[in-house]
Amino acid sequence: MVLHCLPHRRPVTAPTIPFVRTLSLLGLALLTCAGTARANCLDEEKLEALPAMSAPGTAPAAASPTPPRATLQRMVQDALARSHGIGAARLLAEAAEQDVGEAEASRKPQAFLTGSVGPSIDQDRLGNTSGLQARAGVTWNQVLYDGGRSARLIDWRRQQAEAARLGMLSTQEQITLATTSMALERSRFRMQAVIYGQNVRKMGCLVQALESIVAADKGRTSELVQARKQLQQAELQQVQAQSQARQVEAKLRRMVGDGLPGTEGMSTLMLAVPELPAVLSAAERSVDIHQLAANARALTEIARVVEAGNKPQLSWNLGGNALLSASSGAASVAGGQRNLALTGGVTLSVPILNPAIEYSSQAARKRAEAANLQRAEALEQRRQRIVDVHEQAQSAFDRLQRVGLVLRDSDRLRNFTLQQWQQMGRRSLFDVIGAETDHYNLRVQYINALHDGQQMNATLTSLGTGLSAWLQ
């Protein structure tokens, strides 16, 4: 739609302004709008990927060349690949797996090689003998029974490894949510900059038209000052939106690298509010809750390890020793000795008195109970947050629909106001500027409600099944 920048005319009476001069001012303004000002008066109502102002959940008819979900998925993958936090969490998970292998290997037979070299002095009834002795030995042993302690240790390590793996997935989910939130914020501020830019062009059109009018009628100078003031305010809003967009893009580049994709389709990525019962049901299966449960199970296994440490232990051992000595002295006859010895048997260890074990056992059990209570508390808080965020999402999309209805009437009102201003001054320029400002502010409110709702949807999905699963 081309904005016809006809001048504002007051009701004309005979003694005020001659009719011929009125026609000349109208003709001058028309020439201004038809010339260089005409290109700046285009009312660009269509935003980049702006959805139709209808009920939330309705997707636009025209699809973008690259699906927005695929674009977001690529950004998330780049963020995960560049994240040091993911690298650290992955190494911790791998280290926990190595701990499991260590606990399992401790149940297998073990062999030790020992050796020593040093001087020795022996005394018997024949006299003293001194010399150099070298000892070497090999020992094999294996625990046959330890009351289940080694098995509980293995279970503890496995639960720790599972908690570390879930911790890595939790870090991935946090990075996915942060990337999604910043991508939506980037779309928000870029669309705001487009809206304010259209407002700047509209006010610039009015300023150009009034400049030509004031050149012939100095009495209209106040209107020109008002229009220039509104133009400056619109430029300030546009600069602020562009600055906020650049700040978000700088943060996004630190996460995903250079070469950010466009924002086409991001405004319609997550318009459907998830059902509350489904999200509440999925909360218990979330990664964070599973991680807390794994930590609780690990502490339970530690309590069992402590209890098993007070049970009898049975092991077998087999050893061989060799002694080589070079002797000298009054009792030395051959000048050296060699001895070989083999030993083997079964060792039984039965604890009789250990007053500290009861305290250790009680402390371990209480830590496990505390971990279970922490998991239950975290789940309750998560569900409460889901209810709050779900209400915020519904409120945002309800606000979106209501602002859309007001926006339609606002568009009609500003068009009528402009026409009445053009037609011999039925409205003042202040009415025109007020209607235009109100209209563009409503468009910004529409964009804010749209992105607020999507932010809430992203948070809801992350609290439930997870954004990572949703992107798949």
Q: Is 49 left (phi over 0), alpha (psi -120 to 50) or beta?
A: left
Asked whether the beta carbons of 266 and 49 are under 8 A apart, the reply is yes
What is the predicted pLDDT for the residue at 219?
79
- Domain layout of the chain by residue ranges: 19-471
What is the pLDDT, as a whole number, of residue 130?
Answer: 64
Cα–Cα dist 168/287, whole Å = 10
Look at residue 377 in the predicted model and tell me its pLDDT: 96
Structure tokens at 441: 């502010």
Picking from 267, 293, 276, the residue whose alpha carbon sits closest to that of residue 450 is: 267
Task: Give dist(CA 410, CA 51) in Å, integer.
Answer: 18
pLDDT at residue 321 in the model:
84
Residue 117: name the closest of 137, 138, 135, 141 by CA: 135
Q: How many CA atoms lie within 13 A of 393 on its CB side?
A: 23
Rounded CA separation 162/159 (Å): 5
The structure's pTM equals 0.78
Give me the amino acid identity at 350.
V
Residue 313's pLDDT is what? Answer: 86
Tens-of-pLDDT digits for all 472 residues of the chain?
334 444 333 333 333 333 233 333 333 343 344 333 333 344 545 443 344 333 334 443 344 467 888 999 999 999 999 999 999 999 999 999 999 999 888 888 888 888 888 776 666 555 556 677 788 888 888 888 888 888 899 999 999 999 999 999 999 999 999 999 999 999 999 999 999 999 999 889 888 888 888 888 887 788 888 889 999 999 999 999 999 999 999 999 999 988 888 888 888 889 999 999 999 999 999 999 999 999 999 999 999 988 888 888 888 888 888 877 766 554 444 455 678 888 888 888 888 888 888 898 899 999 999 999 999 999 999 999 999 999 999 999 999 999 999 999 998 898 888 888 777 567 788 888 888 889 999 999 999 999 999 999 999 999 998 999 998 8
DSSP string, 88-130: HHHHHHHHHHHHHHHHHHTTS-EEEEEEEEEEEEEEETTEEEE
The domain covering 19-471 belongs, at the CATH homologous superfamily level, to Outer membrane efflux proteins (OEP) (1.20.1600.10)
Both tokens assigned to 260: 């950010």
Which pLDDT value is given to residue 101? 92
Residue closest to 295 by CA, chosen among 91, 158, 104, 172: 158
